[in-house]
Amino acid sequence: MMRVLLINPPTGTLIRDDRCQVPVANLSSGLRMPLDLACLASVFQAHGWESRVGDYQAYSDGADKFWREFHNFAPDLLIVNCTTPTLRADLAFCAQVKKARPGVKIIVKGAHFAVEAKEVLADALFIDAAIKQEAEFAAADLAAGWANEKILGLVYRAGEEIKENPNRPFEKNLDLAPLPARDLLDNDLYVRPDTGDRMTSVLVGRGCANNCAFCLVKAVAGSVDCRRSVDSVVNEIRECLDKYKIKNFYLRADNFTAERAWVAAFCEAIIRRGLPVEWFANSRVDTLDSGLSKLMKRAGCVMLGLGIESGNQEILDQANKKITLDQSRAAVVACRSAGILTYLFFVLGLPGESRETLEQTRRFALELDGDFVEFHEAYPFPGTEIFVSAQAGGLVADELFGRTVFNAPALAVVSKTELDVFRRRVTRQFYLRPRQIFRAVKRVRSWAMLKNYLRKAWRVMK
Ligand code: SF4
């Protein structure tokens, strides 16, 4: 029987969900279950492979654990989930693996390869192939033993040459996607950040019709919002409740509320079936309203992540975000009136950013007064428009493994150091307001929750 090991390498603890590549240390949420790897594993299982999933980034002794399990299991194929910020470390890790066991085939996946697979393979001679997109469907072809040249979206080494197959069209019928092999995961690793209860991710859909300049979605998931049927998602949730005793869910979609009718049907199905679940999702502020928020709350929605990005309208317009400050205000009010917590995301250092616009963002974050905030610094991922601007501005260095080094904020006047200082200062200011502390205390329902809040607070503040 062929053996496959699918891993998040022990090279930095990040959310490694394709377009979302964020160090967990920066988050007041936490580690997410490796949904993609678990889906790929289930494909290999279905084709008779012995499959294992290792989220080695999740353990303090992740590297030791990997080597022990790798030597014991002796896989024929290793699939490594890489991110752009950790690319160098991920590839160095793959090089060690190949050296230790030259016979193992190593395939990498991750958003970076949707754009720069050939460049990476040209330098990283120890990598056998890279999957550009729609990894679970490419995995089905690999597991079935198809020849490399027939697998859409695969870039592979053939002797001295690197061959790139045509892209795989984005699958519209996501009910064809495999369900994740949760039986291969250590499900206790993935918990709800406030209560500490088990939590899992469920794929709702992927793709987005918008084209924000800092976002990778077009490259990795396409510009059409494709989603699973309501029945398929609700049945998976039911299975998680029955088989894994998981009641908390991150419903993964690039914009959960993009399709109002789908969301309404989903909420009604959860309410009708009486499923005792609580869930989280991400939404655009212009696809939310008070009626929908109230229905979502009745169906168990606890919190929504909203991309606010900036407190300056010109920056939003330049980033092609296509939202207004008033729409952000209205979305936060709609959530609050429905009793849904808000987790507001901002991106600092976008093209046009200055000290004045940063100050406007600071004031806007305080004015919106969400329940949680996260300030990210714009990162020019290859495949985004800000990568092109950063490159034109000479801000991206040419390096050995693709062009991944971010020297300075893309075309912003402020330096990266200044952005770091700003991010920490405003995060502290946001959370240390008496009103915010009072609200957090009111939410605490147990000692475990209090401990979790204090731990997260410490992580975010330091
Ligand atoms: S709305 Fe913008 S940031 Fe959100 S997924 Fe779509 S393109 Fe990306």
Q: What's 118's domain CATH number? A: 3.40.50
Do 283 and 386 belong to one domain? yes
Can you tell me whether residue 223 is helix, strand or coil?
coil
Single residue among 129, 164, 199 that ends a domain in this structure: 164
Ligand 1: distance of its center to the CA of 208 in Å?
Answer: 6
The answer to whether 115 touches 134, Cβ cutoff 8 Å, is no
pLDDT score at 455: 77
Number of domain units in the chain: 2
Q: 145-187: per-residue pLDDT in tens?
A: 999 999 999 999 999 999 999 999 999 999 999 999 999 999 9
| CA neighbor of 357 nearest in space, from 447, 419, 404, 265 | 419
Q: Is residue 184 part of a domain?
A: no
Q: Is residue 183 part of a domain?
A: no
* E-assigned strand segments in 276-329: 278-283, 301-309
Among 212, 224, 227, 345, name the best residue to mutate to test ligand 1's pocket (greatest count of ligand atoms within 8 A of Cβ).
Answer: 212
Do 78 and 156 belong to one domain? yes
Question: Is the CB–ligand 1 distance for residue 284 below 6 Å?
Answer: yes
Question: Is the CB–ligand 1 distance for residue 212 below 6 Å?
Answer: yes
Ligand 1: distance of its center to the CA of 215 in Å?
Answer: 6
Do 10 and 56 belong to one domain? yes
Q: Is residue 31 part of a domain?
A: yes
The answer to whether 49 touches 18, Cβ cutoff 8 Å, is no
pLDDT score at 95: 98
Do 206 and 129 belong to one domain? no
Do 215 and 112 belong to one domain? no
Q: Is the ipTM of this complex over 0.95?
A: yes
Question: Residue range 290-306: average pLDDT?
Answer: 97
pLDDT band at 413 (very low <50, low <70, confident <90, very high): confident
Q: Is residue 181 part of a domain?
A: no
Question: Is the CB–ligand 1 distance for residue 207 below 6 Å?
Answer: no
Residue-range definition of the domain harbouring residue 81:
3-164
pLDDT score at 402: 53
Question: Is the CB–ligand 1 distance for residue 237 below 6 Å?
Answer: no
Q: Is residue 169 part of a domain?
A: no
Mean pLDDT check: name the lowest of 52-61, 272-281, 356-365, 404-413: 404-413
pLDDT score at 150: 97
Structure token pair of residue 85: 């910020």
pLDDT band at 425 (very low <50, low <70, confident <90, very high): very high
Report the distance separating Cα 155 and Cα 233, nearest Å: 32
Q: How many CB atoms lie within 10 A of CB 455?
A: 13
Report the percent of the chain where pLDDT is more than 90. 77
Report the half-sphere exposure of 251 (CA within 13 A, side-chain side): 32
Atom of ligand 1 nearest to the CA of 211: 7
Report the distance separating Cα 434 and Cα 449, nearest Å: 19
CA nearest ligand 1 atom 8, residue: 215
Question: Is the CB–ligand 1 distance for residue 215 below 6 Å?
Answer: yes
The answer to whether 301 touches 336, Cβ cutoff 8 Å, is no
Single residue among 120, 147, 164 that ends a domain in this structure: 164
Among 17, 21, 254, 327, name the best residue to mutate to test ligand 1's pocket (greatest count of ligand atoms within 8 A of Cβ).
Answer: 254
As a residue count, the chain comes to 462
Do 231 and 120 belong to one domain? no
Do 53 and 110 belong to one domain? yes
Q: Is residue 373 part of a domain?
A: yes
Do 221 and 288 belong to one domain? yes
Torsion, CA 213, CA 214, CA 215, CA 220, rounded to 10: 90
Can you tell me whether residue 425 is helix, strand or coil?
helix
Q: Is residue 302 part of a domain?
A: yes
Torsion, CA 23, CA 26, CA 29, CA 35, rounded to 10: -10
The answer to whether 181 touches 38, Cβ cutoff 8 Å, is yes
Q: 332-389: per-residue pLDDT in tens?
A: 999 999 999 999 999 999 988 999 999 999 999 999 999 999 998 888 888 899 888 8
Question: Residue range 240-249: average pLDDT?
Answer: 97
Do 200 and 152 belong to one domain? no
Do 116 and 240 belong to one domain? no
Q: Is residue 139 part of a domain?
A: yes
Report the percent of the chain where pLDDT is more than 70. 95
Among 20, 22, 208, 252, name the best residue to mutate to test ligand 1's pocket (greatest count of ligand atoms within 8 A of Cβ).
Answer: 208
Ligand 1: distance of its center to the CA of 252 in Å?
Answer: 13
